Every structure is written in C-alpha cells, then in structure tokens.
Amino acid sequence: MSSRRLSRSQNIIPIHYDVHLTTDLDSGQFCGSVKIDLIIKQHDQTCIKLDASHLIIDLSSISLILISSLTKLECTVETNDLNEILEIRLLNEKTFSFDIPYRLIINSFSGHITTQNQIGFYRSTVEILSYNDNNSNETCVIKKHYGITQMSPTHCRRVFPCFDEPSLRATFDLTLDIPRHLQALSNMPQLYSQDNLLNSGTKRIHFQRTPSMPTFLLCFVIGEFDMIKAEPVERLNKDNGLSPIELTAYTLPGRKHEATFALNCAHKALHYYADLFQIDYPMSKLDLVAVPDLFYPAMEDWALILFKEEEMLINEDHAVSIQYRNVCQSVTHEIAHQWFGNLVSIHWWNDVYVVEGFAKWFEYLATDYIVPEYNVFSEFFSTQFVRYFDYCINILHNEADDIDEKDFSFEGFIYSKGSCLMRMLHLFVGQTDFLDSIRLYLQRYSYRTATAIDFWACVEEITKLPIKKLVHSWCTKKSYPVVQVKMIGYDETTGTYDLELKQMSFCRGHDQEKKPIDKKISCHCIKTSDLICDTKHNIDLYQSIDNNDNDENWIIPITILNNQSNYCLTKYLMTKNQEIIHININSSLSIEEQNNDNEPLIKKRRCLLLTSNYFKLNICSGGPYRVFYSSDMLEKLIQAIIKQELNIFDRFNLENDMYALSMGGFTSLVDYLHLLLNAYMNELDDELVWKDIESNIIRIGTLLEYDKQLYDFYRKFVIFFHQNLYQRIGLISNNNEDESVARSRLRCFLLVILGTIGYDPTIISNAREQLLIYLNDPSVTVLWPICAIVAHHASESDLNNLFKLWEQCPRRDDRLRCAYGLSYVQESSQIERVLNLFTINNSTNNNSIRLHERIECYKGFCLSKQGRYYYQRYIEDNWLLLRTNYNDEYLEALIRETFGYFSTKDEALRIEEFFLSYETFEQKYKINFKETPSTPCTRIAVHLCLDDNELLTINKNNLSSPPIYNHHHHHHSIIPNKVKEVASIIAHTTRTRAALLERDHDDLLAFFQSDSFSISSPTSNASSQILSINTTNIISSSSSITTTTSGNKRKRRVSSLNTSSSSPPVRNLLASDTSA
Ligand SMILES: [Zn+2]
C-alpha cells in the first residue's frame, strides 16, 4: 500500500464521465454509479485499469459497451486493493479496437464519507449556537454536518472509480441526491433539481456539464450555507456573448458578512487577471466557500474555490491589517489558478512547482494591485525569498514518478522556489515579454494539459532567450549560486569598466576560496560585452551555450545598476564559470535609450564624475543568488547607501547577501558587522531591512554567546548600532493614532534586542512596570516583548508574576503572547519550570497551549544556549509523543527551528547520535532487542517502523489532543527520513558554525576593541547613550540628521527593466520604496 505507483501511459483517454452519487451525511455513507466514455489509443490493448480506492464496488454491475453499436462486450473484472486498481479485461484475450469510443458502466458502488481526514469525500461537523424556537433566551447547540470533497492530488478515486491522473482531462455530468433541506454546490451551476424524490425527503440536483478538466479539480460541497453575491463581473470582451460572471461567497450560517472583503478582492482579481492574460475567465460563475475543515489552506477547484475559514473570512471588528493581506493573497492565489492550473493544467505532478510558483508570484502582483498600501512585496522577501535560500541547500527538484514522492513536491519549497524563479524571469525579460509568454501559453494549451517545459518554451519563444536551459540549470542543482565580482580595470579615455564575474556554488564555493584568487584573467574567459543589453544578440548567446562547457554552471540573469542612471545599466545572461564584461557607460546607455520606447526623451543622461561609480548587481534582489563584491566595490556601495542612492530592495539585498556570505564562510563576520555599522546605522524605519538585520543580529548572538568575552563586546556593539533607531522610534509610541503597524512591530524587535542581548537597565525596569500593569488591568493588550524581557532577566518574583499573568489572561491570544515571552527565560531551573508548566497544563487545562502552537511558543528557548540545552533534552525525552502528534513536515520544521543555532562540535555529535543512530533509542526507551515482539516498544526496536495507530496505542495515556491525521497508511519510522536529513544538515551546519567562530574569533576581538565604534563604559546602555548622542562622535553622524528627515524625498530608483509596461496594471512590480 505504501507505493501506489500510478498507471501512467496506459493509453486510455476518458472523454466524459456521468457521475451520480446519493449521499447521507448523517450515516456517513454514499453510493453511486458512473458511466465513462473513453477511447483507446493503442493497438493490442487488452485491459482497462481504473483507479478506485476505499470503495466497495459491485463487480457484477460493471459492463462495457461499444458505443457505436451499443453492443455489450463480455469482460472480466478484478480488483487489486493493494494498488487500488480496478481491472477490466475483455474475455478470451480479445483486444480493444483502436480509437473507437467505448462506454464503461459501473452501476453500483458505495463508500464511506470519512471523518478521519480531509481527503476524498469527507464530513465536517460544526456546532452552532442557536436560540430556541419560542424566542426565549435559551440557547441550544445544534450539530450541522457538511459534506466536502478534496480530490487533489489523487483522492477522486475515493469518491468514484476513475482515471485519476492529472493529464487525463474529461467533461463531467454530476448528479447528487441530497437531503431536501441542504444545498449542494459544484464546479458548475445547477442545471435543474427534482424535489420529493421517491417521497424520501431527498432531492436530486443535476449540474451543468463541466468543460474538459482533470479529476483533481472536480469538487462539490453539501450543507447549509449563507451567501452573499457580488455585482456580476463584466467580461473582457463584452461583444462575445458571454454573460457577466456570477460571483458568490458562501459561509456557515451567520457569517456571510465576514466574506465581504474576500468577495471584493475576488471581484477585482477577476478583472485584473482577465486583463493581464487577455483571456476571459473561462467559467460562468465563481463561488468562494469558507468550509469548516480543509486539507490545504485553500483549494483552487475550478469555479468553486474552497477556503479554510481564516483564509477567507474577516471579522472586521477585531481584524488587523495582516489578516486582510493574508485573505487577499489567498483569494488572488486561487483565482490565478483558475487560468494557470485549471484552464491549462499540469501534465504530471512534478510540474506542480511551475503552477504554484506562478500563482504565488501573481498573488503578490494582484494583492499589490488591489491593496497597494499593504507593501506586499516586502513580505515576499521576508518569506519566499529568504526561504528559497534555506530550502535550496537541502532539497533538489526531483521527478515525481511515484505518488508518494509527489506529496513531497507540495511542500513549501515549491512555492518559494517557483515564485522566485518566476519573479527573476519576469524582471529579467520584462513586463511585455513575460505577459506575452503567459498569453501564448494559456492560449496554446487552453483546456489541455501542459508540462513545465511547455511553459518555459513559450517564454523562450517570445524572448528568444535560452530559458529552458536557464531553468534547467536552476532546477537540477543543489545549493544556489554566488557571483563574485571584482573591478579589474577602468579605461579613462573610453569610460570603460572591466568587471570580472565568477560564479560558484554557495555550498562548495568557500572551500575553493581558501586559495588566494588569481588576479590574472584566465585565458579561457570569453568576453561577453557584445551580448550586453540587446536581445538580438541573445540568439548567438543561445548557440554559444549549446557548445558550451559543463552542466556545472548556472545560467544567471545579471543586472547591473550604477549611479550614472536611474535605470538598469546592463543586463545579460552569465553562462560561464568566469567572465569579464566591459561596461562602457556611454555606449550601453545609448543602447538602453534606444530600447526604451516609452520615455526615451525624459531621461537625460547626466554627466557625473566617473570616479565615484558604484556598481550594484542583481537589481532589486531580482534573482535568488548572492553577490560577493570585492572590498573596493563594496566600499562604493556603502557610500551609495549613505547618500541614499539605493532603494530599499537593493539595501535589503546587500545586507542579506553579506550576512549569508559571512555565515557561509566567504567573508568574515567582521565584514558584516562593519557593513551594519557603516551603512545601516541610519537605515530608515522600513520594516523589510530592519527585520532582516534584527533576525541576523539575533542569530549572530546565538553564535557569539559561546564565548563570554566576545559576547560582552557584542552586547555593546548591539546597543551602539541601535542608538539612532532607538532615538527615532523610542520606547513607546508618541502618538498612537498615526503610528503605522510596521513601526510598532519594529519597536517590538528593538525592545527585545536591547532588553535581552543589550541588557539595557531602563528597558528592563520599564518592562517590569508594564508587566504589573498587565496584571492589574486585564483589558490592556499583552505585548510579547515585555514578557520576553522580564523572563530573560527574571527573578523568582518576576517569574511568579509571569506565571500569574499566564493563568489570569482572559484572552487566549494574550496568553499565547505571554507563553511566547516566557520561553525567553535563561536560568536552568526556570527553563524546566516553564517547560513543565506548559506540559502539565496541556493535559489538565483545556485553555492551555495546544500542541500545534508549541513550536511557536517555545521559540525563545532556541535563542539562548541554556534554553537550547534543555529544550533539546525535552524533545528527546518526548520524541514518541511528538512523533505521534505531528506529521513529518511539522517535525522537520521543529528540528530545523530548534536545532539551528547550536554551535559546538559536541552539540553536533549529540544531534547525530539521537537522530541518526538507533542505539540511542535502545537506551533512551529501554528497548530490549531480545524480548519477544509482544509489546509495542519491542516492535519499535525490531522494525523501527510503526503506523500511526500503533504509535497511538503506545502513547495513549499521554495524549491530550487528537493526532494529526496522515493519509498515507504506510508505515512510519520513528525518525522520519525528512527529519534524518534535516538533522544531518544541522549537524553539519553546527560544525560549520563552530569552525566559523574559531576562525573569526581573533578578528572579532580586534574589531570590537578597535576604534570602529565607541564603547563608552562597561555600563553603557542605549538609553544613556541616547542622552549623549549629540556630543558623541558617531560615524557619519552628519548624515544621521538628514536621513531621518529626508526619507520622503528619496528618489525612487526603479530600474528600466520594466519600463516597457503595456496596458495591464502591474504596479511597481519591482519595488516601491516604502519610506514615503
Ligand atoms: Zn496554489
């Protein structure tokens, strides 16, 4: 059962399904019949194999008809439960006729509406509070059942026998028999309904025939819903006879008003996408349904999008802006799929990264269009972009031949990988070409399936760039590229700069870099200056790639910005290991101007002094790769930041790259701290850059913590670095009304850093005072930084106060914030107390931290050496319980989050011993190999492999919340493979960190003791330094004053990569500088 290999290429093409289901939500049963018209596309075919799973099929009800003559063919039927296959074979070894339509009829099958997991046809039950009939104030709880389907990826076979493969599209006629008082929705509008069926209290609903589509997009829901309708959405072409799109939102009773925002977003998104793709929305209606339970956050079933309630509904009374943004992103994501994923669907599951990457990237574009004030692109960087790098090192894009492997490809990685690739190409080829490529793809493959390569081929066809090779180079390698760049020459007479570019793998690169780099240009470098900036030349480039070197290289879109222009100076594809490019500012500018159709005359070339030229590669973090600048080039970029010449995305890019390069061993940590000090002390209040800086500062703290002397210096550095920010945004907000969410979030970061790493006494005593306010006034919202700071420095009475707060908090979210803060305790007895508190309460108190909330609530433990030490042991001791309650992905995340900050060789060893060696389990759980396999524990040792039920039995007494259901019924090992992989990566990273600390130790010490920044006194703290800020001589203090005031005047430096935008409203695709 573990390996349900799909029967690909069986050469049977279903044309049409006629499905009739009778459902009984109360009993949890359904039964039905299905007729499938199909043709056979192969000679000598002797059998038909259908997918059917968890169904009881009356084999005698199966018949096969030759449609043309309506003759019934004699056949035998077999089921193979192991492979979930229903096999129909013609009698006497006869073969099917080629290309002739047959009808397969299965007149009777039945199944169970599952309540165990949210796949196939499942039932959700909700309890709704209702007033009694007689208008009294008495309430009662009414249970309502909902029948919902989740066919994707391979669960349609649980609802009716079918050809359950994405490439086999067909039309569907669906008929449902349901209780008369309920509603049923499906992909298509109702055709007609028959009431009083056999007087049995049921009604029969016939839905209109669907367009050709894959089984995984079929969907229906049954239940009692409230609904609101939007204004019908006008069509793109009003002349083509299509009526406007009916747009409706459905919710559980009493919640329809919460769907207004989602409905508005959907309305705008339908317009937006139709306009962008130049193809009308392909269906007559679109329903958004908020269902009580769903396997995914949302599911893009064609014209019937299902959402988890929190992904669609907004209670306008308590909602915060981040919820609006999430809902908008969810809605726009699923609507993008209606074209990209549904109108054209994937051919096989290994291509899902293209469809998901597309929807992910377009959800940002559409959200930015609908609610520009959300600055959604900043969120793109702090999630998708940053994740891409993390994931990239660990996961490789694989062919998913097997259905189990396919599930792996649905992980978060494909979203970040897919969307980063999409964005990189979108920016590089430009708006016009990218949209033309999408239109070509959607038109060419409408109502059909296509592969990822089909999509990239369309981009290639439009742009004439070697896109397929490019994507191949990004999808087949582990790790990601680092581009090392050096200025190797400048010709004053011609104004030509020579840059040497070298690409290497982030994982392997720094090993090679141990050798001194040869300054001489190697003779096989190929000059690529003639390829710059002109797509016509790219045809040659394509050919040159064909007979070009090994597969080791990435094809990297290089973009270069400098202070000579407000727009892209150069863009070209780097294909070689090492290249030299000659940038003649004058000539390349003139090429730019020729190509720039829209505003050729507006942008006049300004003659600046060339000596101060900086070159910024990878404009606006366009591509998910790192740039490693030589020190002279970096120095000029620092000057550019000080002069406010780089936009926020370039500032983020430089900072983010430098941190990664120092942690990856390419440069020293000192270089990163230098950069912070020299370029970012006066950084504006923008969340994107600060959020990244703060998380990097915390992460460096987790490393330096292992050396007391360094850490004491580091504290002072952190205080010094933050003084300007602290002065600007302060400890509390001055005017509550005007303060942006971003700014108050930034203050939270700042407080935590100064209060924990910084030990700032003023902040700590303020936090203690604030905690007392929380205790005395339950109406005040609890801020987690306050709890974290108090916990970090907690005395016995502080801790008691925090515990009291935790028990007293009337609101659950306040309790969670308090719990999160509690995990910042440092002292060993306190850590154990907090861990115990959470565990004990979990089993006794309903109102306590749920298991799934724990990873988040325990994060603070991972940030201190002591916390990690105890938390690691806690996880080891409770592993069986965790294993039972979490799925593999969650455990992987738990280990990744918890163990990421270890930094000694001993710790690396311990991680390996626990996760990678079975002997540890033997000792840990007192497992005895010699015992007879009668107790579950022995079986752990013998097989190291249990299924969920077995694990449940073992841990029955410890369990307090239901297990995470897993739809794979095959066996799980005690340590899932994913966890093993991530543990071995973490052990490796831990050793790297240990080596890094050893290597950089002396440099860091020298840096901290140098005059780079003034550590006034051992008692220095931010608040006291702020008072003396005007008298202290601070680096670039002159510009610190201008920075804070001139932010709004900053020039927007959106490069010309996309100036050729045509009508579709893609607003500032690259960037908007959020300082305004
Ligand atoms: Zn999606």
C-alpha to C-alpha distance for 941 and 926, rounded to whole angstroms = 10
- Determine the Cα–Cα distance for residues 530 and 579; give it in Å rounded to an integer: 13
Q: What is the pLDDT of residues 873-930, one digit of tens each?
A: 888 888 887 777 777 777 887 888 788 889 999 999 998 888 887 655 555 555 443 3
Q: Which residue has the tokens 């062919």?
A: 399
* Confidence band of 778 (pLDDT split at 50, 70, 90): confident
Pick from 918, 924, 907, 919: nearest CA to 986: 907
Task: Tell me, rounded to whole angstroms, the distance of Cα 550 from its chain centroid.
Answer: 32
Q: What's the one-letter identity of residue 667?
A: T
User: Which residues partner with 578 through β-bridges?
Assistant: 502
Does residue 616 surpass a pLDDT of 60?
Answer: yes
Q: Helix and strand tally (H, E) in the chain?
A: 36, 33
pTM: 0.80
Mean pLDDT of 487-515: 75
Buried residues in 813-843 as b, exposed as e (16+ CB within 10 A): ebbbbbbbbbbbbbbeebbeebbebbbebbe
Identity at 350, one-letter amino acid code? N
- Catalytic pick among 258, 334, 592, 912: 334
Looking at every residue in the chain, the average pLDDT score rounds to 78
| pLDDT, position 962 | 32
**Furthest-apart CA atoms within the chain: distance in Å:** 100
pLDDT tens string 22-38:
999 999 999 999 999 99
pLDDT tens-place string over residues 402-457: 444 334 434 667 888 899 999 999 999 999 999 999 999 999 999 999 999 999 99
Distance CA 597, CA 21 (A): 59
What integer is the mean pLDDT of 496-517?
Answer: 67
The two structure tokens encoding residue 899: 């163990």
Q: Say whether 897 is catalytic.
A: no
Residue type present at position 1059: T
**Residue 873: CA atoms inside 13 Å, Cβ hemisphere, count?**
10
Distances (CA, A) of 15 to 38, 168, 210, 211, 676: 5, 9, 12, 11, 62
Distance from Cα 18 to the centre of ligand 1, integer Å: 28
pLDDT in the model for residue 558: 93
Q: How confident is the model at residue 1047 (pLDDT cuts 50, 70, 90)?
A: very low
Helix (H, G, I), strand (E, B) or coil at 407: helix
Buried b (16+ CB within 10 A) or exposed e, 344-373: bbbbbbbbbbbbbbbbbbbbbbbbbbbbee
The tens digit of pLDDT for each residue in 631-657 reads 999 999 999 999 888 989 999 999 999
**In terms of Cα–Cα distance, which of 810, 900, 814, 812 is closest to 855?**
900
Mean pLDDT over residues 515-522, rounded? 28
Please write the tens of the pLDDT for every residue from 836-881. 877 654 444 545 666 666 777 788 888 889 999 998 888 888 888 7
Give 333 Cα–ligand 1 centroid separation in angstroms: 6
- Distance between CA atoms of residues 240 and 244, nearest Å: 11
Element (H, E) at 285: strand 285-291
Mean of the pLDDT values across residues 491-511? 79
334 alpha carbon to ligand 1 midpoint, in Å? 6
pLDDT digits (tens, 9 = 90+) for 218-275: 999 999 999 999 999 999 887 777 899 999 999 999 999 999 999 999 999 999 999 9
298 CA distance to ligand 1 centroid (A)? 8
pLDDT, tens digit, 9 for 90 and up, residues 88-140 = 999 887 889 999 999 999 999 999 999 988 899 999 999 877 766 666 667 78
SS3 of 542-577: HHHHHCCCCCCCCCEEEEEEECCCCCCCEEEEECCC
Q: What is the DSSP letter of 62?
A: E
Q: Which of 463, 472, 474, 420 is nearest to 438 (CA)?
A: 463
Torsion angle, alpha carbons of 842, 844, 848, 849, to 10: 10
Q: Are 39 and 101 in contact (CB under 8 A)?
A: yes
Q: Would you list which residues are annotated within the binding site for Zn(2+)?
A: 333, 337, 356
Say if residue 785's pLDDT is above 50. yes
Ligand 1 center–CA 1008 separation, angstroms: 48
Write the pLDDT tens digit of every residue in 323-374. Answer: 899 999 999 999 999 999 999 999 988 788 899 999 999 999 999 999 988 8
Q: Which has more confidence, 929 or 508?
A: 508
User: Which pLDDT score, from 0 to 100, does residue 626 have?
Assistant: 96
Ion ligand 1 neighbours, Cβ < 5 Å: 356, 359
Going by C-alpha positions, the residue among 171, 176, 266, 166 that lies closest to residue 211 is 171
Report CA(356)–ligand 1 centroid distance (Å): 5
